[in-house]
Copies of this chain bind each other. A is one copy, B any other.
Amino acid sequence: MSDRIIPEATKRRMPIYYKYFKSQQEAGTKRVSSKSISDSLDIDSATIRRDFSYFGELGRKGYGYNIDSLVDFFSEQIFGKTVKKVAIIGVGNLGSALLRYNFGGNVSNSMQLVAGFDIDETVIGKTIGNCVVYNMDELNHIVKEKNINIAILTVPKESAEEAKIAIENAGIHGIMNFAPVKLTGHEGLVIHDVDITLELQSLCFNMKLSRGE
């Protein structure tokens, strides 16, 4: 059943599964069952088995799933075979927080923060976290040199469109956009928006619904 028609709902759960597998692996767990995953993630066990079945037969009847195999398999599904190299575009408040954070060190075997870029002379040349902040002029060149695949866009909304074009031209195909503007790119550019005010509104609405209040 591994012909590439993976339902949207399954796609959405992939990162959630992966996060769980990693945390279990770190905790020393060797095997899991659809039941044990279900208990932790609050997803029906049948849904979990069905989700996995789209990728082939990942488990063994009567035993469950081996955690190391799951991590390896999902890692390749999500990231591919090579480590993804990530750059921060716009090293201001949020960009520098992300550089210092460096994903909490957690994801470093599949994703790596490798550079920052800005137009402000006062940050260019600095090293934040363990990344150098380069001038935007150097984007093309450094992207090739360091094999950067993904850009995290943390510039003011006014500059977002301009920065997006630079990113696209440098040959990067994935953008995680924190600026509160709608960006569209050429066919083949994948843009993922993260909007913190949207998340807060979502929280407010859930509070309203669950508590009247």
Contacts and interface: CB of A to CB of B under 8 A. Distances in A.
A61 to B, nearest CB: 28
Q: How many copies of this chain are found per oligomer?
A: 2
Interface residues of A, number: 60
The winner among A93, A173, A196, A200 for most chain B CB atoms within 10 A is A200
A103 interface: yes
Contact of A190 (B11, B201, B203): B203
Contacts of A155: none
Given A97-B97, A201-B78, A11 B209 contact: yes
A106 B14 CA distance: 33
Interface stretch (A43-51, A65-73, A79-87, A118-126): A79-87
B150 A197 contact: no
A99 B116 CA distance: 22
Interface stretch (A15-23, A131-139, A140-148): A15-23
Given A192-B206, A206-B190, A200 B106 contact: no
A107 interface: yes
A35 interface: no
Nearest to A15: B201
